[in-house]
């Protein structure tokens, strides 16, 4: 009988790596400055637009855009070791 490799999503080492990556991302989000974390989570998790976030937080939409951009940049840098591309 030929051996059939399990789907990557069920292989223990892949699942452990996925959990470690998720923990690293959660920690990176937690480490963001408060205003950046708030804007990022309202945008990504709650799906609010920049204008809606500005109204909720009492800031300008350009400030919100900057906070989200800085948050994404910091997260991208922090998560760089987890990237698979060369």
**pLDDT on residue 14:** 74
CB 42 within 8 A of CB 53: yes
**pLDDT on residue 18:** 85
Neighbours of 30 (CB within 10 A): 8
**pLDDT on residue 1:** 45
Residue 39, phi then psi, degrees to nearest 5: -65, -45
Note the Cα 35 to chain centre separation in Å: 15
**pLDDT on residue 42:** 97
List per-residue pLDDT tens for the chain, 86 residues long: 455 555 655 667 777 778 889 999 999 999 999 999 999 999 999 999 999 999 999 999 999 999 999 999 999 999 998 887 55
**pLDDT on residue 6:** 55
CA-CA distance, 54 to 61, in Å (whole number)?
5
**pLDDT on residue 15:** 76
């Amino acid at each position: 009988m030929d051996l059939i490799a399990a789907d990557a999503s069920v292989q223990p080492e892949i699942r452990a790596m996925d959990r470690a990556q998720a923990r690293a991302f959660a920690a990176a989000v937690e480490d963001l400055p408060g205003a950046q974390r708030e804007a990022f989570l309202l945008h990504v998790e709650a799906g609010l637009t920049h204008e809606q976030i500005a109204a909720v937080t009492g800031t300008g939409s350009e400030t919100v855009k900057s906070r989200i951009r800085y948050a994404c940049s910091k997260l991208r840098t922090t998560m760089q070791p987890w990237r698979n591309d060369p």
